[in-house]
Amino acid sequence: MPDFERPKGGYHGRLLRVDLTARTTRVESIPEAILRDFLGGRGLGSKYLYDELKPGTDPLSPQNRLYFVTNPLNGTGAATSCRYNVVTKSPLTGTILSCSAGGHFGIDLKACGFDMVALEGRAARPVYLYLRGDNAELRDAADLWGLDTHQTTEALLAKTDPKAGVACIGPAGENLSLLASIMNEKDHAAGRGGPGAVMGSKNLKAVVACGDAKTPWSDDRALAAAKQLWMTFISEAPLTKDALKEWGTPVLVKIINSYGAWPTRNFQQGYFVDDDSLSAQTFKERFFVKREPCAACAIGCSRATRTSRRQGKGPEYETIWAFGALCGVRDLEAVVHANYNCNELGLDTISAGSAIACAMELSERGFFDQEAKDAIRRDLGRELRFGDAEAVVLLTEQMGRAQGFGRLLGLGCKRLAEKFGHPELAMHVKGLELPAYDPRGFAGMALALATSNRGGCHVRNFLIGCEAIATPVPVSRFASRGKPGLVKLYQDLTAAIDSCGACLFSLFALSPDHYAQMLHALTGVRRDGAGLIRAGERIWNLERLFNIREGFSRCDDTLPRRLLEQPLPEGHSKGRTVELGTMLDEYYSARGWDRHGAPAPGKLRELGLDRG
């Protein structure tokens, strides 16, 4: 791409910088070269975090930075174009952290005339940031402190504008739980790695956005054509046309369990005997109210739900697993209530469920000290065991409010297991709890999880699409041959999609050329599918450089010992373990990194990352 080519549309080119300590704001221009090379969202935020954050910064100190970043697709009306990103240094893992969320907040934020809001410092007392168009105001939030995310959202809509977008934290973020998420429109989460704790550490309760600024597009006619093409493909691909629309993400429950790779009882098994109790069919029959799609979504996987006592959104597939099979629980109503607790209190459901499952195994194996046993007995009236549905509901509430034993669970499974002398029982990568796919059943996902830049995260590379549901192409799930190159490809492509503003589910229907065509119509910058992937590779390598600067290395690109050494005892993945060594060497080679996992000078020059 020629150096002189500049974006002609898709961006406002403006950054709002907010100093919470001084209670000041100022607007800056974003260099066109950064927008061109890092696209937006995850890439743009990661570039600023890398450039601006001093190495070794405590994630919960005033010096940490927190970026709310929009994307070029926001506001176009293109299918699934609502995503925004929150970028910071994770207090849970110490890695670079980017979280993507749906709803409509990303569109509202971009309509205020900014591509990014950069927050630094710490307010002396609780505040919220109110953006009314390009007017930015820090307002007192003392009366909001202590409210849950639903209460906070309702209060702020009443105080500001009923059509505004609200992103806020609940008690979990206020109490600096390392599992705290940021919630927008009540039930959409920028969730993993503790961004809510960073927001809480800054005494920032919420960001409210309401505006009507229009983003210029490079070519209106080409944009209309690209939007129509996206709709055609998304409305015809089986997963986006039928499965996700009909069943939502819980459609994966029976699929992954049938492979014997649905992690059960803290990854001690890979097959949950009673999957009917947690299936998409049971979920729809008992709790489904209606579909509630994100803004501009043609898929509509999100569900409004109701129990006999409460109502809300979800749970999604990962949450059903985390509070269900992972904890040995078959009571789906308890899982739904635990999900509601997490949404209202502002907790990441995957990490919360994993922390509870880890605690269940520590308890059953007799590894808790007397103080922990006494605390659990005070909270539950009994010992903690797998299958205890009531305990799951109670402990999620305690985690969110930092009460009783829940305060310790809110530190995550890694710190919990280390405290009691058995780190091998924590199922995480780089401190981030693993998702609902046992790596022993999927070789590509094993490598993808081990090398993820933010830790045990499936949305950094959803290779399960190929290995479990043959989308977009089928590949052998046990084979390691060819997987390193495929993992690299999907990691780079995912980084680019995260930075454009599309939902990753669009990848079930679209090709790299589709995304590139859309970006060209928006920005005027010429790139094909290969060029889009190259932009994703640039973003992935920058994230790697951040982590290396923070002390991460090859030894962190691994999986829990259980998955490397203990074969699955039953199911269709019986006898399997993970062999990372050769795949990891091939992966580093494919990336142009040295044997320690550091990007080589030539690769940095190739990607334009050698200039600081």
Cβ burial of 280 (10 Å; 0-12, 13-18, 19+) is buried
Q: What is the pLDDT of residues 401-414, one digit of tens each?
A: 999 999 999 999 99
Cα–Cα distances in Å, from 185 out to 103, 248, 314, 452, 574? 6, 19, 13, 28, 42
Cis bond before residue 315 (omega within 30° of 0):
yes
Q: What does the block give as tokens for 348? A: 């990441």
Intervals of the chain under pLDDT 50: 1-3
Q: Which CATH number applies to 248-426: 1.10.340.70, 1.10.3720.10, 1.10.569.10, 1.20.1250.20?
A: 1.10.569.10
Fold that domain 433-607 belongs to in CATH: 1.10.599
Residue 519, CB-side half-sphere exposure with 13 Å CA sphere = 31
Contact 550, 97 (CB under 8 A): no
Centroid of chain to Cα 594: 28
Q: What is the pLDDT of residues 476-494, one digit of tens each?
A: 999 999 999 999 999 999 9
Which pLDDT score is estimated for 3? 45
Which pLDDT score is estimated for 2? 38
Which pLDDT score is estimated for 79? 96
Q: Find residue 599's DSSP bridge partners.
A: 593
Which pLDDT score is estimated for 6? 79
Q: Find residue 27's DSSP bridge partners.
A: 16
Residue type, 530: A
Q: What does the block give as tokens for 532? A: 């889009």
- 356 vs 352: CA distance, rounded Å: 6
pTM to 2 decimal places: 0.97
Q: Where are the domains of the chain?
A: 14-210, 248-426, 433-607
Q: What does the block give as tokens for 43? A: 């890439």
The superfamily (CATH) of domain 14-210 is Aldehyde ferredoxin oxidoreductase, N-terminal domain (3.60.9.10)
DSSP symbols for 316-329: -HHHHHHHTGGGT-
Which pLDDT score is estimated for 22? 98
Which pLDDT score is estimated for 233? 95
Which pLDDT score is estimated for 472? 85
Which pLDDT score is estimated for 612? 58
